[in-house]
Amino acid sequence: MTEPTLLRDQHYQYLKKGLRHLSDAYECLDASRPWLCYWILHSLELLEEPVPTAIASDVCKFLARCQSPTGGFAGGPCQAAHLAPTYAAVNALCIIGTQEAYNIIDREKLLSFLFSVKQPDGSFVMHIGGEVDVRSTYCAASVASLTNIMTPTLFQDTPTWIVSCQNWEGGLGGVPGLEAHGGYTFCGMAAMVILGKEHMLDLKSLLRWVASRQMRYEGGFQGRCNKLVDGCYSFWQAGLLPLLHRALFKGGDSTLSLQKWMFEQQALQEYILLCCQNPAGGLLDKPGKSRDFYHTCYCLSGLSVAQHFGNMDLHHELIVGREENRLAPSHPVYNICPEKVAQAIQHFHQLPVPVPAQKEGEAPNRLS
Amino acid sequence: SEDPKQLIQDRKEWADLEPVPQDDGPNPVVKIAYSDKFTDVYDYFRALLKNDEKSDRALLLTAEAIELNAANYTVWHYRRVLLQALEKDLREEMRYITAIIEDQPKNYQVWHHRRMVVEWLNDPSEELEFIAEILSQDAKNYHAWQHRQWVIKEYKLWDSELEYVEQLLEEDVRNNSAWNQRHYIISHTTGYSDPAILNREVQYSLKQIKKAPHNESVWNYLKGILQDLGLSSHPGLLEQILELKETHCSPYLLGFLVDIYEDFLENTLEHHEEVLSKALELCELLAREKDTIRREYWSYVGRSLQTKYGSSDSSTTTSAPGSDSGSVHQETPCSS
């Protein structure tokens, strides 16, 4: 059997093109264009393909047009601010990592946007007049920590709310009561790690739940118990294991492996390389499905998680196939490269935390 | 009234309004090749937004914009502003959103919009039937379940839900969403503290296990409902599981046994060595043969049990031969 090969060149051409032009099939993502920037830029950085300076600058200028006058980023120019494109825009700008990129973010307005979507029970709505679910806590915690705008009250009661999303299965649902789901579990756990409160979760049952989500035949992960495998869960689910490893280690666990995550890394890489690649470039959910930039980003992110164990001090690689399949490591919390995280945090920590103009809890914005 | 096939720019009812083109700047990125129709509708939507126009034609335009991209949350928000400002018939809006959801049931905005309309009307009377209809097409639609849980909690419509869940489980005993709903209903009504309820649920679960032994959902449910009290505290359960092991074995059963033994170790002092040895044996069996995809996990569980409950002079490591996963007894930092 020929060794599984990552179709680097094909993926690169697909990504390079998409960063400029997308077909009308992407009309459905017209309210998610910062996501398209992030998915593509992150995929390129995992492939260790540089982004030409001119394009990087164009991305900055475009994201500036997506920034709302009242703070936060929207899905496109002249749309309303929303936590998901806010998360994506900040991540994309941090990947670019130039002064121009950092300077796009209006930190004062971003903070006031976060306060404007904060709810009394600790949760956040995704946008003014929008829905609550655990994604919002991750988006808020991610951008607030990267841009150094965390205040003492911003995340008050948020950890308690996130904990209430953990259910009888051990994973987390979108809101309290719902079925445990990989995407929401990742968001909740990563948010808790950012907030330093991961030990409030039942880590043991979370670990059992996520470990059980790897499919014994396919090697990839399912999003929920008794559902089908999907390449994107290579990140949302497998990406939990580095977070859990670190949390358990912090908690004093001395029985953790020094070399491997608690999932079958080889099997996941094989699933992605053998079943999730489009020969013309791009990655996908499962054979028979169409490629898209979301799956390209998260299949590659999952491949990176499966290839790299550890962190700066301790690093152990397991590359299925040729060395050329190797991707760059990614930060398990933010899902951008660790150097970009460090650089952004270093930059924004030189700036003072903005003073909130509006207090949390004032005029909760849930109407309409 | 307007002809939806005509571009807005050709409709006389819109002649007074100047469309606002999207400004992506001189060197756009992630530029979508919008169809003429899409560009047309959204150029006019931007115009409405700019002028803060509150009119019937604006409402009609939001419907066209939604049809082209139902995920545009800015349009949905504006539609809600219009519905209230123009005091529109919310019953008609319910009919509208019903049709949209039928067509696009996996979208956040449509369900949120329906929730807002139900709240404004303070009328949940159509909800359970509607959601059941959507679930009949996709029994695991996450948004549908979220909406259902909200309606039931908000309007206290608990009474018929357990029956509905049982019907779904009858159709597909592997429907994890239905098992979750079962847990949701019982936790919010009777709770699991009453031994009669707990026992009923344990019996129900064992019955489903016998029908379909390789169904992970039911094993997770059984563990989920017993773990607060302690798996080892339920009388006769261990014996029943050991009996099932002969005829209805599965990796889930074996994992459940590990859980029972672990709970035993946590809560009892007697037979420690024996119970620990059984638990370790099972972890080894799972890692080596019965659940190899979780080899690293089961090895870790074994090592953890050994470390926590092993006596100080039993120093055998529990790593499977050939595995790299040695236990950590030194102080290698894992900071980040």
Q: Three-state SS string across chain A, please?
A: CCCCCCCHHHHHHHHHHHHHEECHHHHHHCCCHHHHHHHHHHHHHHCCCCCCHHHHHHHHHHHHHHECCCCCEECCCCCCECHHHHHHHHHHHHHHCCHHHHHHCCHHHHHHHHHHHECCCCCEECCCCCCECCHHHHHHHHHHHHCCCCCCCCCCCHHHHHHCCECCCCCECCCCCCCCCHHHHHHHHHHHHHCCCHHHCCHHHHHHHHHCCECCCCCCEECCCCCCECCCHHHHCCCHHHHHHHHHHHCCCCCCCCCCCCCCHHHHHHHHHHHCECCCCCECCCCCCCCEHHHHHHHHHHHHHHHEEECCCCEEECCCCCHHHCCCCCCCCCCCCHHHHHHHHHHHCCCCCCCCCCCCCCCCCCCC
Written as one letter, the residue type at A222 is: Q
Place of tokens 């460090």: A342
DSSP A262: S
Interval B287-304 mean pLDDT: 98
**CA-to-CA distance for B293 and A267, rounded, in angstroms?**
8
Instruction: Express each pLDDT in A98-123 by its tens digit.
Output: 999 999 999 999 999 999 999 999 99
Nearest to B22 among A22, A77, A129 (CB): A77
Q: What is the pTM of this model?
A: 0.95
B74 to A31: CB separation less than 8 angstroms, yes or no: yes
Q: Residue B336 — very low, low, confident or very high, per pLDDT cuts 50/70/90? A: very low
Interval B197-202 mean pLDDT: 97
Instruction: Express each pLDDT in A184-208 by its tens digit.
Output: 999 999 999 999 999 999 999 999 9
What is residue A1's predicted lDDT score, i.e. its pLDDT?
55
Does residue B313 carry a pLDDT above 70? no
Give percent above pLDDT 90 in chain A. 95
Which residues is A292 bridged to in the sheet?
Answer: A283
- Residue in A102, A109, A285, A299 annotated catalytic: A285
Nearest to A258 among B73, B303, B332 (CB): B332
B35 to A27: CB separation less than 8 angstroms, yes or no: yes
Q: Residue A359 — very low, low, confident or very high, per pLDDT cuts 50/70/90? A: low
Does residue B42 carry a pLDDT above 80? yes
Beta strands at A21-22 and B31-32: parallel, antiparallel or unpaired? parallel
Nearest to A256 among B292, B300, B333 (CB): B300
What is residue B329's predicted lDDT score, i.e. its pLDDT?
30
Q: Is B116 on the interface with A (CB under 8 A)?
A: yes
Instruction: Express each pLDDT in B91-108 by its tens digit.
Output: 999 999 999 999 999 999
How long a stretch of residues is chain B?
336
* Chain B residues within 8 A of A267 when measuring between CB atoms: 293
Does residue B327 carry a pLDDT above 50? no
A181 is annotated as an active-site residue: yes
A230 is annotated as an active-site residue: yes
* Chain A residues within 8 A of B158 when measuring between CB atoms: none
B116 to A22: CB separation less than 8 angstroms, yes or no: no
Is A65:B23 a contact under the CB 8 Å cutoff? yes
Instruction: Express each pLDDT in A20-66 by its tens digit.
Output: 999 999 999 999 999 999 999 999 999 999 999 999 999 999 999 99
Closest CA to A256 of B301, B194, B249, B28: B301
A233 is annotated as an active-site residue: yes
A107 is annotated as an active-site residue: no
What is residue B235's predicted lDDT score, i.e. its pLDDT?
85
Closest CA to A78 of B112, B63, B25, B35: B25
Instruction: Express each pLDDT in A287-335 by its tens digit.
Output: 999 999 999 999 999 999 999 999 657 899 999 999 999 999 999 999 9
What is residue A363's predicted lDDT score, i.e. its pLDDT?
47
Does residue B1 carry a pLDDT above 90? no
Place of tokens 């049990």: B305
User: CA of A65, closest CA in chain B: separation in Å?
Assistant: 7
A32 to B142: CB separation less than 8 angstroms, yes or no: no
Phi/psi region, residue B304 (left: phi>0; alpha: psi -120 to 50; beta: rest), is alpha
In chain B, residues 49-108 whose CB comes closer than 8 Å to chain A: 49, 68-74, 77, 80-81, 84, 108
Number of Cα atoms under 13 Å in the Cβ half of residue A3: 10
User: CA of B298, closest CA in chain A: separation in Å?
Assistant: 9
What is residue A336's predicted lDDT score, i.e. its pLDDT?
98
How many contacts does A have with B, using Cβ atoms within 8 A? 232
**CA-to-CA distance for A7 and B183, rounded, in angstroms?**
45
**Mutation site for B-interface testing, chosen from A125, A212, A316 by largest number of B Cβ within 10 Å:** A212
